[in-house]
Structure 1
Amino acid sequence: MLDIAAACLVVTALLAYLNHRFVRLPTTIGVMVIALVLSLVIVGLDIIGVSHALRTYEESLLRSIDFSDVLMQGMLSLLLFAGALHVDLSELKALRWPVASLALIGTMVSTLIVGYGIWTALPWVGLELPLMYCLVFGALISPTDPIAVMGILKSAGAPKDLELVIAGESLFNDGVGVVIFALLLGMLVSGDTPSTGSALALLAREAGGGIAFGLVLGYVTYRMLKSVDEYQVEVLLTLAAVTGGYALARYLHISGPLAMVVTGLIIGNQGRALAMSDTTRRYLDMFWELIDEILNAVLFVLIGMEVLMINFSVPVLVAGAAAIVVTLLSRSLSVGLPVAALGGHFGLPNGSWRVLTWGGLRGGISVALALSLPLGPHRDTVLALTYCVVVFSILVQGLSIGHVVRVSVCDDSNNS
């Protein structure tokens, strides 16, 4: 295990160095681009018989890493807590209804649109995928990833309210998407279709239980932080709350991701204001910012390397292009359309719907969920479609979202 962790960190550090010195893209996008290009170069060299040993080594490294387990049981709790820690709850409170509706209703609507859209489109490209697998794909591809886009939004001068909506929606729809995915995967594996009542009860238990547990865990951690004034102990308490709390949430069969988001919001707001000294706040922020940056860099490197493990063919690539179109259409209908209709009511700029639609990046959570599906040809198809959407969203949408912000929001603000 130590050798695998060392290899991942060494590769990530080297790629981050190369990106900073020569490529100069945002770190997460840059390391993924370099990893993806290097993987494709290795594939090309292997085809002409030059670097079979290098490809064999990279594939063995990837096989030794359970991507789904590493992200879902390890990284995700830390990443969600770190993201929620820096969300100002007083500012988010004014936008609670759009954030909640986009995260809950938007994710469910997106799951259905993508699922049925893919089920309709795939036969046109010569592929067949059962409806349940299509719906599972809709659930795993609907959660958005704010990591790669938030820095670009800040540098592009996006309004604060728009940043809060994107960050809040992404944090909560991760948890909602994982719950919906788990529900559909259980139906897929068992072959049973639960009643609407039992499905809603399961969703309420997972999501409601996760939120309630997060409130309790956040309050207990807050009280402990308030009773001491030693930054080493306080940073350790937050780390223990995240890792131990996530493990306990899994044991209780409630949503760990939602629990971590709620805990992070409590510690980042009430805990920061009432339970920490200036020294503790400074060290806590630095610690979790570093954790966030390091884990995200490792995650995006793994995404770039994972291309070696996916079986692509011409029909699959065409299906991947169809999946990209369907996913963007779903995002525009489930998020863009409501924001275009109601955004002014919540004080959002006129062009916010375009930013929210194009800024809905997909990331490691989608890949990890796809890798957790049962082995078989349907899983391979879902994984390939997922990879196509994720790579497109990070490279194309991620690198152009700054321009979309400036054209859609900043120009409108200046004109007005």
Structure 2
Amino acid sequence: MTIFQAAGALLSLIVVFGMLNQRFLKLPETIGITTVGLLTSIVLFVFSYGNHAYVALAQETVRRIDFADVVFHGLLSFLLFASALHVDLGKMRAVKLPVFLLSTVGVLISTAAVGVGFHLITLSLGHPVGWLWSLVFGALISPTDPIAVMSVLKNAGAEESLKGKIAGESLFNDGTGVVAFIAFLGLASGATEFSPSNIAITLAREVGGALVGGLLLGFGAHRMLRVLEGPALQVMVTLAVATAGYSVCELLHVSGPLAMVVAGLIVGNQGTTRELSLASKEQIFGFWNLLDELLNLVLFGLIGLEVIALSFRVDMIWVGIAAVPVVLASRALSVAIPLLALRNLHRTSPHSIKIMTWGGLRGGISVALALSLPEFHGREMLIGVTYLVVLFSLLVQATTLGKVIRHLTPCAPPPGTLATIEHEERSAAS
């Protein structure tokens, strides 16, 4: 099967999944497509019981799609750039200190807490995973997924300041999470020795280099958008930033995802808000809004299908179920400590910690990191548990986040109404 044929089959499946979701489940598109993909995988296993040839064929077909490569070298740059492009930088500045602490200190707290908790539960269930590999799991599962978070927050009904914290944290915490993942992976695999200086250098290169690279890409695109005429060529400039810019960052060993976030914030708040015609603005934002929605459907469809290629054992399922409360408790701890430390400097609503804990969604990035793990005893366990935690996050947390927000803040009207807009404006003004 050629790449073109595989892409055609994948897109056709996603269309079918979308139709089934709209007809029967009526869930938000991204979550619904993941659910239908998961149900399709389960149905395939059930109806192919006793005839493993069909399962083997389906597994081989899905395995031909390198999920980690598709995410990190295909979808991620576009999705992060698109998400950042639509973020209001002025509102983000109002929560910059909480966002900074949550996306750095918070991720490290969660990594340590998940690592300890995961090691203990695997030990107690008779399937021990070593301390270092448990910390690797903590690092890959701790960053919240900006793609999942941004798609759900659109209709969650949260107040504006809380939205800013959740969205901002999810956009920026990938850099910290990936650096922690690389550091602990090197220690666990024996490729590197523990050294605080090495970790500090890696963090400075990945994060510092990404900030500089993102600024150069963003302001460079801003200058080109001012000079060039014609919406088509201007859209091409933004595409070049998300493709060539991301590739250059990877060649320089700096965080491409973080660079895309910085570049998207600058272009969205500088390059396309001044000196451009209304037609150009509509073309640029319209194009990226549509591309964002299309690629989200592809990513969540892949998440639903990927279960076909995984080998779930009973012990793995029990460990995954036990890992869910560990991840949630660690998330609560990683949110509570930074926010409580800032309580005298930054106003926080009474239920922020609860909402941010439940709104800390995991998605394709965690799955991609897990699938990129090298071969070792326990690799399948870590991949399977990661997938189960991600499924819980998408199918339970994401679908109930709006209800949780409305339950904890009953004065907030349902999302999508005029009252919601007025409520958010009053919250932002206060």
Shift of 1:385: 0.9
Compare 15-24 and 353-362 and name the one that shifted more.
15-24
The change in CA–CA distance for 1:115 and 1:296 in structure 2 (over 3 A counts) is same
Shift of 1:5: 1.3
Aligned pairs for 1:12-411 within 5 A: 12-49=14-51, 52=52, 54-150=54-150, 152-339=152-339, 342=342, 345-411=345-411
Q: Structure 1, residues 78-131: CA drift from partner, whole Å, max 9, x if none?
A: 111011001111111111000011001111111111111111221111102121
Q: Is the 8 A contact 1:149 1:401 kept in 2?
A: no
The change in CA–CA distance for 1:355 and 1:126 in structure 2 (over 3 A counts) is same
| CA–CA distance in structure 1, aligned partners of residues 159 and 227 of structure 2 | 37
SS in 1 for 2:378: helix
Shift of 1:344: 7.6
| CA–CA distance in structure 1, aligned partners of residues 149 and 212 of structure 2 | 29
| CA–CA distance in structure 1, aligned partners of residues 412 and 223 of structure 2 | 45
The change in CA–CA distance for 1:81 and 1:212 in structure 2 (over 3 A counts) is same
SS in 2 for 1:349: coil
SS in 1 for 2:409: helix
Would you identify which runs of 4 or more consecutive aligned residues in structure 1 move more than 6 Å?
Answer: none
Q: Is the 8 A contact 2:310 2:384 kept in 1?
A: yes
Shift of 1:345: 4.5
Q: Structure 1, residues 58-90: CA drift from partner, whole Å, max 9, x if none?
A: 212211111001101111111110110011111
SS in 2 for 1:47: coil
Q: Structure 1, residues 239-262: CA drift from partner, whole Å, max 9, x if none?
A: 011100110001001111111000
Q: Structure 1, residues 211-239: CA drift from partner, whole Å, max 9, x if none?
A: 11110111111101111231100101000
Q: Structure 1, residues 173-205: CA drift from partner, whole Å, max 9, x if none?
A: 123212221222233334432311221111111
2:25 is aligned with what amino acid?
V
2:142 is aligned with what amino acid?
S
Compare 168-177 and 188-197 and name the one that shifted more.
188-197
1:20 is aligned with what amino acid?
Q
| CA–CA distance in structure 2, aligned partners of residues 138 and 275 of structure 1 | 46
2:382 is aligned with what amino acid?
V
SS in 2 for 1:32: helix
Q: Is the 8 A contact 2:218 2:267 kept in 1?
A: yes
Q: Give the aligned length.
A: 413
| CA–CA distance in structure 2, aligned partners of residues 206 and 21 of structure 1 | 45
Q: Structure 1, residues 342-373: CA drift from partner, whole Å, max 9, x if none?
A: 46843332211111000101000000000000
The change in CA–CA distance for 1:48 and 1:411 in structure 2 (over 3 A counts) is farther
Q: Structure 1, residues 370-400: CA drift from partner, whole Å, max 9, x if none?
A: 0000124321111011011000111111111
The change in CA–CA distance for 1:360 and 1:344 in structure 2 (over 3 A counts) is farther
| CA–CA distance in structure 2, aligned partners of residues 79 and 412 of structure 1 | 29
Q: Is the 8 A contact 1:222 1:275 kept in 2?
A: no
Q: Which residues of structure 2 form unaligned runs of 5+?
A: 414-422
2:351 is aligned with what amino acid?
G
The change in CA–CA distance for 1:66 and 1:153 in structure 2 (over 3 A counts) is closer
Q: Please, what TM-score do these two structures have when normalized by structure 1?
A: 0.94
Q: Is the 8 A contact 1:132 1:184 kept in 2?
A: yes
SS in 2 for 1:377: coil
1:45 is aligned with what amino acid?
F
| CA–CA distance in structure 2, aligned partners of residues 193 and 100 of structure 1 | 28
**More helix by proportion, 1 or 2?**
1
SS in 2 for 1:229: coil
Q: Is the 8 A contact 2:80 2:147 kept in 1?
A: no
SS in 1 for 2:272: helix
Q: Please, what TM-score do these two structures have when normalized by structure 2?
A: 0.91
